[in-house]
Structure 1
Amino acid sequence: MQPSLSSENIKQIAYQILNGFDKSFRWYSRITRGAQQRFEQAQWQAIQQAVKERISIYEQSLSAAVSDIYQHVSPMQQNHQFWCSLKAEYLRLLDDHPQYELAETFYNSVIGRLFKHQKIDDSMMFVLPSRCYLSGQDRTQVVHSFDTTGTVRKLLDDIFSTYRFNIPFAHLDQDLTLVDRIIRQHLTPSHLASIHTIELLKPVFYRSKSAYLVGRICMPEQTLPFVIALMLDEQQQLVIDAILLEPSDLSVIFGFARAYFMADTQYPAEVVAFLHELLPNKKYFELYISIGLYKHGKTVFYRNFLQHLDHSSDYFTFAPGVRGLVMSVFHLPSYGIVFKIIKDHFPESKSVSRERVKDCYRLVKMTDRVGRMADTHEYMNFRLPKNRMSTELLNELLQECGSSIELTDDEVIIKHLYIERKMTPLNLYLEQEQDPQKIRHALNELGLCIKQIAAANIFAGDMLHKNFGITRHGRVIFYDYDEICYMHEREFRALPKSDDPYAIDTLSVGPTDVFPEQFEHFIVGKKALKQILKELHGDLMTQEFWLEAQRKAASREVQYFWPYAQNKRLVNQQLVNGL
């Protein structure tokens, strides 16, 4: 037995863990801070690389911190009191730390790594937060407030005197004139007169080929989003691409199927609190994740989930939709998340391995999801109360995913789990929806989803409509990843021209061959739905479309898809407003 460590030893280890977090956050911030230069210089491929690097930081920093601990202590030889004392010392170090909530998550990760996530104990780690964050205490550190006593145009001039870029605007005066006009059309004179403040977050939100100024219009009876979207024109000069004033626009921009923003701040809790005031229907964990702090987002999710369990009584049961061949998927009906576990065995029709499935989910994590692929989060030894599991679900999980399940008297411990935002499966939506226009819209969205995923250099593989969901905003999102791959990993071929209906049986078919002409037979089942999809997106069923998409992916051309409607863009508003 290793001798007990002194209080000085414990202080040193606590300091090392916090130092590991601080190094990690500085690294994270350095990459985030570089977003402005990458945007201004149109370094689109560098932007994608920076996204991947920033996601990888956490695991690298965590490994280094754990390695440092092993240099000073044998973790398995320490008693429970040691870990309680270490947490208490670490907590003392967090006094006045501007990112204390992220530092708590880093500490949890260290303990989780040391104990292989088998000890979830609030006396040893921060299962619950150490304090309740009081939003507003650092508001002046993250928000600019603009005077509204003058004209709308004077306000806009003040905004663009505050936010500075190192490249010129192409036609700022013209853009601001149009933005002024759009705001006046959107708000009544009485609303305009009642505006007492315009607040904008100090950090600029960068993602892909756009930058966003994010804030709100404050009136006595209501607040409205106030978001200015910036892009570069063909001459790499700045233009205002859109002014967004609807809550639904902001919700989609911060959607769960989009890449994480780069927004540089030393006060993430205050930024997230402000965003939550703009987007009250989004949970705090979703907003942390949206700005790239996905590890802390996982922590906040778990805390929110525990709280929800305490205030609900429904049972976990199978998620709506067709049962999967690779994943068992279940949900708590009162909570907006689905839980996914890799099955122990797959049918012969699925030529994938467990590790391959994990690789596919990692690939999506690192890819620009272009608003069309749901983000997922991975957990180890996730604990659920056994008395909240339906008997049918528990029996099937033990049968299908037994290697991932451990039972105690009170808990179901899932050794490896993914969580994902809940959506209505597209096949169920199309079966239940009676409105022809909504059906047509959903099928158009399905085609766009497949095309835009391909533009992100991903071949979806299994494109049955049961593998897609539809959001409350009517967007179709892909969520089944076990057959995805990069575009260059498939060979898109034409079917042989023959009068023989069985000619395909005589064709040499390799494991990477794909025949787009067959897509119409299985993406959707019903004849009427097939016809609409062919009418809207018939090119999906041609070899030519896929070869061109493959060519663009091979050229590393970064394509862009707007997270707001095209009629919101100033270039289209010019026609409406006669400019």
Structure 2
Amino acid sequence: MNRDQIKLAAERIAECYHTYITTFNELTALAPQFFVDKDWLSMQQNHKRRLRLYKDQVEATKLLLQGFVKDVALEKEFWRETKSYYSWIITERKDKELAETFFNSVIRKIYPMQGIEKDLMFVFEGYDTCDFHSSEKLFYTYPPEWGLQKIIRSIIQDFDFGVRYMDKEGDIQLLVRAVREVILTRYQASKDTITQVWKNVFYRNKAAYLIGRTKVGGKWMPFIIPFLNGPKGIYVDTLIFDPLTMSSLFGFTRSYFMVEAPIPSQLVAFLNSVISQKKIHELYNSIGFNKHGKTEFYRDFLIHLEHSKDMLVEAEGIKGMVMEVFTLPSYNIVFKMVKDYFEPPKTMTRQEVREKYKLVSVHDRVGRMADTHEFEYFHFPLNRVDPTLLKTLRATVNSLLTITDTEIIIKHLYTERRMIPLNIYLENCTYEEAKVAVEEYGYSILQLAQANIFPGDMMTKNFGVTRQKRVVFYDYDEIEFLTDMNFRWKPKPETYEQIYASAPWYDIAPNDVFPEDFKRFMIGREDVKQHFWEYHKNMFNPDYWKSIQEKIKKGELLHAFPYPKEIRFRPDEEA
């Protein structure tokens, strides 16, 4: 075998990875200036560009390699040796785990394989946590003898964004009061108390977030400080101590942060220490390394399979006309496949459905759409597939299946966080819980609208309820851009024939929407229907939807607050 060819292939992949990560870091580094300039359109465009970067670079690498490896592209030994040499090249890289994932992506594009081949790919090498506790370069550190006032003033000074503050002294006193109310009523500061704030700022949408921790009462207490740049200048919006709220900021319904991470595993290790509810793959996702997050998820799932015994079964809920969905009850994920045939009235193709999912992957999810990972040739042990599920899969997605004596291999699927379908939740919850759920349901639809997404099929079966009782949309086959829809009042009938017509007597175009009709199907639970209609009365008004369209067309960007309005220092202040 030609050693020079192996060496050249490994070097080219390493060079292409270096190009990818360098460009990724350059795009990330633009976020602070966009925040300062309040250039929200550029912030969005930059975010989408960064999301597309990985796939584009993998494709470019594939094209680069094909020219000089075509005579050995199908030889397993060639790729085994290439992996070994590549592993040596990246040994000293501080982002080695990302470089390994990039190699996996490239080889999957070139070498035909049905699933993961451990001798050709980096399957369990992976996450290598870096120590962050002893590094002074990573934190601004504030000693206890400074006192609370000086510490807060120093934090504000250290993170000076270089633009006018709305009310800097007011922010300082609001932060001091919040610390006293939450921490100092429960713990007494001592000589061992210390406060640290991670030096790199986390940017997303219109906000900048500081993440820190205070050692008090013998343990670390994490906190997050969100800053906004509004019409009157920079201001602190709140101070977050609640672990569930912090977890939500890094949740699967949120867009990825822009944060500089020279050593990604070091940042992930820090985040894992302060937001312990999140798994490693979720944290990689949250900082923009979603392809490596996918790798970490797969590893986590394989380990879980080894340590569990339950069977893969159909997911609960009303069966969809487009997607077949199953789950492992002990693992908080669903697996979704596009069916071979769609029942009427669905008329789209499988490729059109996949395009909808791609749209969601690069769009701002504003906390109301679930993130997904896309897999090809996903392997499951056949003895872990419930016979009823296997029968269903053969009937609905047979073209996607390869079944061997020991495995079922699925050609294409999506993974998504498992939630309780809203229709099932409403059937089983109390009246008070149902009121909150339908309020959330309405907010979910309207916040998506403000982000220029129209869900299309808004029935409750297409929404899920998270552990924190947020309502999230997860069925994407009919989504459209809101600005492409035509919201209309229903024409009033004037003649006898029109009044008693069995079908609409007026013309209806494919993109016409009649919000007045929403009441007929949106809520099935009788005791909360009226509450929903009154609480979200604007939803049934075409003029309200048109007003959202106008704002979008003017370039206004919604800031979806990832924390409750009631904890904001100034709840009515514009973002």
- TM bracket (short chain): over 0.9
Q: Secondary structure at the match of 1:165?
A: coil
> Deviations 1:8-56 (Å, cap 9, x if unpaired)?
3322221111111111001000110000000100001111101110001
> Deviations 1:269-321 (Å, cap 9, x if unpaired)?
11111111112121110110011110000000000000000000000001111
> Deviations 1:190-219 (Å, cap 9, x if unpaired)?
614146222222210000000000122222
The residue correspondences of 1:58-207 to structure 2 (distance < 5 A) are 58-74=54-70, 76-77=72-73, 79-118=75-114, 120-129=116-125, 132-136=128-132, 139-189=135-185, 191-194=187-190, 196-207=193-204
Change (3 A) 1:137 1:398: farther
Q: Any gaps of 5 or more consecutive residues in structure 1?
A: 575-579
The aligned residue for residue 44 of structure 1 is 40
The aligned residue for residue 283 of structure 1 is 279
The aligned residue for residue 23 of structure 2 is 27
The aligned residue for residue 508 of structure 1 is 507
Shift of 1:182: 1.2
Residue 487 of structure 1 is aligned with which of 482, 487, 490? Answer: 482
Please give the alpha-carbon distance, in whole angstroms, between the structure 2 residues aligned to 1:568 and 1:424: 27
Change (3 A) 1:140 1:67: farther
Tell me if structure 1 keeps the 8 A contact 2:368–2:444.
yes
Residue 322 of structure 1 is aligned with which of 311, 318, 322? Answer: 318
Please give the alpha-carbon distance, in whole angstroms, between the structure 1 residues aligned to 2:186 and 2:552: 51
Please give the alpha-carbon distance, in whole angstroms, between the structure 1 residues aligned to 2:403 and 2:88: 36
> Deviations 1:106-136 (Å, cap 9, x if unpaired)?
0000111112452511111101116743544
The residue correspondences of 1:460-539 to structure 2 (distance < 5 A) are 460-498=455-493, 500=499, 502=501, 504-539=503-538
The aligned residue for residue 553 of structure 2 is 554
The residue correspondences of 1:296-315 to structure 2 (distance < 5 A) are 296-315=292-311
The aligned residue for residue 542 of structure 2 is 543
Change (3 A) 1:431 1:190: closer
Tell me if structure 2 keeps the 8 A contact 1:262–1:291.
yes
Please give the alpha-carbon distance, in whole angstroms, between the structure 2 residues aligned to 1:35 and 1:525: 44
Change (3 A) 1:333 1:135: farther
Shift of 1:468: 0.5
1:445 matches 2:444 = no
Shift of 1:220: 4.3
The residue correspondences of 1:295-444 to structure 2 (distance < 5 A) are 295-434=291-430, 436-444=431-439
Tell me if structure 2 keeps the 8 A contact 1:111–1:117.
no
Q: Any gaps of 5 or more consecutive residues in structure 2?
A: none
Residue 228 of structure 2 is aligned with which of 227, 231, 254? Answer: 231
Q: Residue type matched to 1:207 in 2?
A: R
Change (3 A) 1:116 1:205: farther
Please give the alpha-carbon distance, in whole angstroms, between the structure 2 residues aligned to 1:460 and 1:131: 37
1:210 matches 2:207 = yes
Tell me if structure 2 keeps the 8 A contact 1:231–1:240.
yes
Please give the alpha-carbon distance, in whole angstroms, between the structure 1 residues aligned to 2:73 and 2:354: 33
Please give the alpha-carbon distance, in whole angstroms, between the structure 1 residues aligned to 2:420 and 2:476: 17
Aligned length: 568
Shift of 1:515: 1.1
Q: Secondary structure at the match of 1:334?
A: coil
Q: TM-score, normalised by structure 1?
A: 0.94
Cα RMSD over matched residues? 1.9
Shift of 1:166: 2.4
Please give the alpha-carbon distance, in whole angstroms, between the structure 2 residues aligned to 1:385 and 1:153: 59
Q: Residue type matched to 2:220 in 1?
A: T
Q: Secondary structure at the match of 2:189?
A: helix
Please give the alpha-carbon distance, in whole angstroms, between the structure 2 residues aligned to 1:480 and 1:50: 26
Q: Residue type matched to 2:450 in 1?
A: A
Q: Secondary structure at the match of 1:229?
A: strand
Tell me if structure 2 keeps the 8 A contact 1:75–1:114.
no
Change (3 A) 1:147 1:133: same
Please give the alpha-carbon distance, in whole angstroms, between the structure 2 residues aligned to 1:423 and 1:230: 31
Tell me if structure 2 keeps the 8 A contact 1:170–1:238.
yes
The aligned residue for residue 577 of structure 1 is none
Aligned-residue sequence identity (percent) comes to 37
Please give the alpha-carbon distance, in whole angstroms, between the structure 1 residues aligned to 2:133 and 2:179: 31
Q: Residue type matched to 2:68 in 1?
A: H
Change (3 A) 1:412 1:359: same
Shift of 1:160: 2.5
Tell me if structure 1 keeps the 8 A contact 2:115–2:377.
no
